[in-house]
Amino acid sequence: MNTTVQMTSIADATISQSVGGPPPEFIAFMVFWGILGLSSFLFFHFNHNATLKRNVFPVFIILIGVIFGGFVYYIMGRQHPQVLLPLVPALIVISFLNIRTTRFCDACGKTLYRQPIFTRTQYCSHCGSELK
């Protein structure tokens, strides 16, 4: 009888803690996402090896899309799989645009983000060197 009372009070405490705030999975994801964002900023901003960044960037963008899609599926998709219908095409388009509009200068190693979608920038805005 004492064991039942303890298990009930543990269950009540767990429920009362989860009602007042976000789920622990969400907090873990936000911490992971923040660490991933900071580390990618440091890598792409301070690394001057354009060839390395050019090779890593598409894989990184696709991985980010898969992680984000997996998180949305874990939180919502198991109960509402229709959420994935607009999410998957949106992730594909966003990933494609990120890869398409990001360039790396071989001369200075600068990561260049802001470009028109349908035209390619010919010169680095930082050093003026011609881009490949």
Look at residue 60 and tell me whether its pLDDT is greater than 60. yes
pLDDT per residue over 80-89, tens digit each?
Answer: 888 888 999 9
Q: Please name the residue that has the structure tokens 């873990």.
A: 28
What's the confidence (pLDDT) of residue 123?
82
As a whole number of angstroms, the distance between CA 6 and CA 16 comes to 15
User: How many C-beta atoms surround the C-beta of residue 77 within 10 A?
Assistant: 16
Q: Which residues of 50-66 are buried (b: 16+ CB within 10 A; e: fewer)?
A: beebeebbeebbbebbe
Q: Is 104 exposed, middle or buried (0-12, 13-18, 19+ CB in 10 A)?
A: buried
As a whole number of angstroms, the distance between CA 74 and CA 71 comes to 5
Look at residue 127 and tell me whether its pLDDT is greater than 90. no
Look at residue 62 and tell me whether its pLDDT is greater than 80. yes
User: How many C-beta atoms surround the C-beta of residue 125 within 10 A?
Assistant: 14
The two structure tokens encoding residue 115: 């470009």
pLDDT per residue over 86-125, tens digit each?
Answer: 999 999 999 999 998 888 888 888 888 876 777 777 788 8
Cα–chain center distance at 37: 7
DSSP letter (8 states) at residue 23? -
Looking at every residue in the chain, the average pLDDT score rounds to 83
